[in-house]
A and B are shown apart, each in its own frame.
Chain A
Amino acid sequence: MRILRFFITRIFLKRWILVLGMIILLFLANYVSFSTARSIISTFQGYQELETLNQEGTFVANLDPNSEADFDKIEIDETQKVYEYLNNNYTYALQANGFVTSLENKHNMDVAFNYINEEAYKINQFRLSHGNHINFNYKFNKEKIPILVGAGLAKTYPVGSNIEITDPVTQQLVNLNVQGVLEENAHRSNFYAPNSKTYFNFSIFIPVNEEFINSAGLDLHVNGLMDIVLLDSTKDETMNLKEYIQENLGLAFNFFNQQENFNYFENYYVNSLKIICTITFILLIIIVCLATWNTLISIRLMIKDFTINLLVGLSYSKLRAIFYGYFGILFSIILAVLFGITAFNRYSFWLRKGSTFATYGIFGLISLDWLALLIVLFIDFIIGFTIVELTIRKIKSIPISVGVLQ
């Protein structure tokens, strides 16, 4: 430790520009690895979630990006007709997220109302930390609506408590009764961007039944259609619905089946991830080469210092330990900075009251952040090992000689 401190303070830091260069390079390597690792893990998690939809007979709606949709022309009567048609002919999962409203809570966060029907609820398989699952057989406007709340609302609205509020989609005063509390960081991935997630820590889940849909406004009707999932259906049936929606709402929908979803994921996401991984790998190679070059330059500049130390009792094994210690410290500093940036990034969602992104975790980091940091740590071991061993090899290739000092 004493020798390591001596080398760092008296030898390496005397060429601080090289140390700074090394820190910048290693930080870049860590940041690139971290971002890629997080993206891959998040995409993989998202894909696993969405895989539950990749069943035979399941079709996921997607507004045709090439169609010209005019939402202003859509009337409530027309959407009602579409839902009647849906109710009469199809089994479907409906989930409409993100109707933000003001509801008093301990953290002063905006609260997102999410509407979900029974089929979608079954697919999501939410896990609860307290209370019971909701039922969908309530009488709208006659009974209290059973709801689930996110973990962030659990203290203000514990199981059994009631909330009286004007519902944002029916615009009616409703009485909600908290049945259960979602586990911390309950989330859902976007169907067409599996690495993008919506967190439900400050959300309320309202069960939607036919009666509720009939009372709801245009917002829920249209939003609900955007991600609607048809279950136990056929391609012909989806074509019928596609035509019905086109006829009544003027919207062109596609319904993707299991294979099409899989192909989309393969063609778009897997390929994107392959490109990201390749670029990351190339960047890492370049950064490691630059870092090694930086070290070799440092050695050339410090060879006299190393030789004098070797003359008076330093051994190669101690020198190797010194380099491992030095890079260990550099990587620890860089990981701490990376950790700080990630923690601040997560915390900033709380500061900005971004209720659909605010997460719970140790220092605000969620499991995928920790996993990505672990991967970065592993990559750091490889980078450190490569640089140190190349450095020692280089030093050994220069014979220690009193001649170096003349």
Chain B
Amino acid sequence: MNSIIKLEILEKTFKKKDFSILNDFKLEVEPGERLSIIGESGVGKTSLLNIIGLLDTQYQGCYKLFDSSVKDLSRNKLAKWRNQKIGFVLQESALINSLTIEDNIKLPLMYANRKKDITIQDRFKRIVNKIGIEPILKKKPLDCSGGQRARAVFARAVIMNPQIILSDEPTASLDLENREKIINLLFDMNKEFNTTVITVTHDLDLANRHERIITLKRNE
């Protein structure tokens, strides 16, 4: 099967901090794969997620996403792909507090210019139903529980039906019940739509529930 992610990083340096991470790092990911990235703090897990998620293009190396070289893509194209092909499942705090939960979830639709698209509206209803956040749609994030916020972040990540979901510590700060809900939602997406799931976590139990685990180590 063709890999959708082909990444070869020679080095990722931080000028101000004068050190480098991810030296000679290679990664290939296939469609529908469930991959977890673990490692101690500071080894570059979040940096790797930023690179995969097209947020960071400042590194030495080569990255092909859907067979296109990322370094050849314009900033507008990168933004478009972040909008349509990649979903970010982050911690429950990653919501705009001045917007309602519904507006937060529908934020990607504004950039895709599809707010009035009926298929998207249907999808929005199905997702909201499935994850059980209908009652809080008109509420502001600060009026909701941590679990409800985490589910809202998840709903925003999947509203555009992305091909890749990148999740960064998605269950941190959640209780057991909500933790399970989020993990199940992630894997349901994977099964239902063959969505590639890449999870950065410290949680070994969560990591073990993925098909493949990559452990990042500090540069010698």
Contacts and interface: CB of A to CB of B under 8 A. Distances in A.
Nearest to B173: A406
B90 A406 contact: yes
Interface stretch (B20-28, B105-113, B131-139, B177-185): B105-113
A308 B55 contact: no
Interface stretch (A65-73, A206-214, A315-323): A315-323
A6 B80 CA distance: 19
A11 B98 contact: yes
B79 interface: yes
A122 interface: no
Given A14-B98, A401-B46, A402-B88, A312 B108 contact: yes
- State the 4 A-B residue pairs at the shortest beta-carbon distance, nearest first: A313-B83, A313-B111, A315-B79, A405-B94
Interface string A295-314: 00000000011001111111
B103 A10 contact: yes
A194 B114 CA distance: 61
A403 B168 CA distance: 9
Contacts of B75: 315-317
Contacts of B93: 405-406
Contacts of A309: 107, 111
Contacts of B147: none
Interface string B57-95: 010000000000000000110111011100010110111
A14 B140 CA distance: 13
A123 interface: no
Given A308-B95, A406-B169, A315 B78 contact: yes
Contacts of B84: 313
B55 A400 contact: yes
A337 interface: no
A199 to B, nearest CB: 52
B214 interface: no
Nearest to B157: A312
B80 A406 contact: no
Contact of B99 (A10, A318, A406): A10
Nearest to B112: A313
A305 B91 contact: no
Interface range, A side: 20 to 34
A314 B49 contact: no
A304 B142 CA distance: 15
B107 A402 contact: no
Contacts of B47: 401
A10 B78 CA distance: 25
A264 to B, nearest CB: 60
Nearest to B56: A399
Contacts of A316: 75, 79
Given A11-B98, A314-B111, A402-B49, 14 more contacts: A10-B96, A309-B107, A310-B55, A312-B88, A312-B108, A312-B111, A313-B79, A313-B84, A315-B75, A401-B46, A401-B56, A402-B46, A405-B94, A406-B46
Contacts of A315: 75-76, 78-80
Given A11-B98, A312-B83, A401-B56, A6 B169 contact: no
A311 B53 CA distance: 9
A402 B37 CA distance: 15
A312 B168 contact: no
A317 B156 CA distance: 23
A3 B88 contact: no
Interface string A80-124: 000000000000000000000000000000000000000000000
